Chain A
Amino acid sequence: MARRASWQEYQKDIAADNYYYARSCIRQNFFPGSERAFLDILRNDLKINIFDDPLHSSCTGIGYHSDVVPLETIMTIVARQFSLMAEAGYENFVSSCITSFGIYNEILATWEEFPETEERTRRFLKEATGRELVKPRSIAHTSDVMFLHREAIARRAKHCLIDVATGEPLRVVEHIGCHYAKIFPKSGIGGSEFPYVLAGMIESWGGEVVDYPERRHCCGFGFRNYLVQANRGSSVANSHKKLESMSPYKPDFIVANCPGCAMFLDKWQYAIAEMDGTTYGVGGHGIPVLTYEEMAGLVLGYDPWELGMQFHQVDVEPLLNKLGVEYDPDAKFLGRDGKRIGRPKSVAVNCSEQRQIYQIKDNLVRW
């Protein structure tokens, strides 16, 4: 009871319609299907207006956190994004990336605290692009938007987060990106300690949230943690700590709202399996890692391969079977034009042959 009261103190106003969409660099490369699914769910299922602007750029957050992009530069780039939004006639900014979300909040707070930095940024923006800075009325992360509409999605659900064989709720680990609410607790639903944004979706869609000791630990992404190869041992140690901690609770899958977290919790399982021979899921498999759009897409009955779930390092088929999702196993590695694009060799994390790496080129020749 105390926990619930605690998260309810941290609420935020999320606009209900007319969003300006800012994409994520990492997600466009590693989870392109998730961004597509977000737009499809909002436009087609929920009939909500969202503008996907081809003019906007990277927020350069990766460079900023790696000390290669100066503060003045990133402020000007963010100011350009905001002015593009205003030019398009929107005032509700939604960011697909947690890093960007943190950046936008940090820069708006900096402008508030140090007005001279805002004035300087206005000048830079004018000189560089001829644009005027217009600040957004509201800023939300895309998981906030999904959280807001979770009941509407639940009403349209074709699959609930329930094991069709046993009728039991699926046990779901939720992982919140650090930059969602650890920088500005008031910017997240539930604050930094008890973020409810993903737990709310899981509960609304029939699943059971797993509470485990390292639930709020970082995944180890953290830019400088992995950009330098010598530091990657520290990066993987974070995911390792989390996976060791969650494994005894036998989660059916992990869901994350941060591009880096979803990528690292998935791909570090591959690396750990290859280095240590350890896997954390049931039956020697890894634990599938989903984005919240993929989770919502499965609930709404989207095809898993349309959602881009073949991009995952840990195979999702065991989870799809539990959910009772119908899918064509042969269509997993079909390209957009229906041609086979190559099939990766099985790896230790998916409990198959060992000492295998991707041999797409060989397979292409064979096919």
Chain B
Amino acid sequence: MRINFGYDISRPRAIDLDNNDLRKSLDIIAELPEVESCIGCGSCTASCTAGNLTQFNFRKLHTSVRRGEYKGAYEELGKCMLCGKCRLVCPRGINTRALVMLMKRKLGDF
């Protein structure tokens, strides 16, 4: 940057599905196909013990991962205490705890 105007060009927050690498995401869905039945209701986040104490947002996290946004996901998943409340409230019966473990296994490199 040559001149500092006191602001920068805000980058779009849109997720670019054309350019994101979806291979890991497709791997995760292949191993746990029930993830695709998620309706994004947010019950997992609302009932999350970790989310009550931190900014951890499981709905946002797994939605981003499914769309190929992996950066920082592994570290964020470290906040999950694996209590399983989210699994109890999921209206689609998704094994969310298994999803946490699966994502940690797949995304360690990101």
User: Residues of A with Cβ closer than 8 Å to B?
Assistant: 229-234, 236-237, 240-241, 271-272, 274-277, 348, 354-355, 357
Contact = CB atoms under 8 A, between A and B. Distances in A.
B9 A236 contact: yes
A83 B61 CA distance: 59
Size band of the B side of the interface? 10 to 19
18 contacts: A230-B7, A231-B7, A232-B6, A232-B7, A233-B7, A236-B10, A237-B9, A237-B10, A237-B12, A274-B1, A274-B3, A275-B5, A275-B8, A275-B9, A276-B1, A277-B2, A354-B2, A355-B2
A274 B12 CA distance: 20
Name the 5 nearest CB pairs between A and B, nearest first: A233-B10, A237-B10, A274-B3, A232-B7, A233-B7
A231 B5 CA distance: 12
Contact of A274 (B2, B6, B7): B2
A247 to B, nearest CB: 15
Contacts of B10: 233-234, 236-237
Contacts of B8: 233, 275
B3 A275 contact: yes
B5 A271 contact: yes
Given A237-B10, A237-B11, A241-B12, A232 B5 contact: yes
Contacts of B6: 229, 232
A272 B3 contact: no
B27 to A, nearest CB: 32
Contacts of B1: 274-276
Given A275-B9, A277-B2, 5 more contacts: A232-B5, A236-B9, A241-B12, A274-B5, A276-B9
B91 to A, nearest CB: 36
Nearest to A238: B10
B24 to A, nearest CB: 28
B1 to A, nearest CB: 5
A240 B7 contact: no
Interface string B37-71: 00000000000000000000000000000000000
B7 A236 contact: yes
Interface string B1-38: 11101111111100000000000000000000000000
Contacts of A272: 9
Nearest to B6: A229
A275 B11 CA distance: 13
Contacts of B5: 232, 271, 274-275
A234 B6 CA distance: 13
Nearest to B4: A275
B9 A233 contact: yes
Nearest to B14: A241
A242 to B, nearest CB: 12
A357 B3 contact: yes
Nearest to B11: A237
A271 B4 CA distance: 10
A240 B7 CA distance: 14
Contacts of A355: 2-3
Contacts of A277: 2
Nearest to A226: B7
Contact of A229 (B2, B7, B9): B7
Nearest to B3: A274
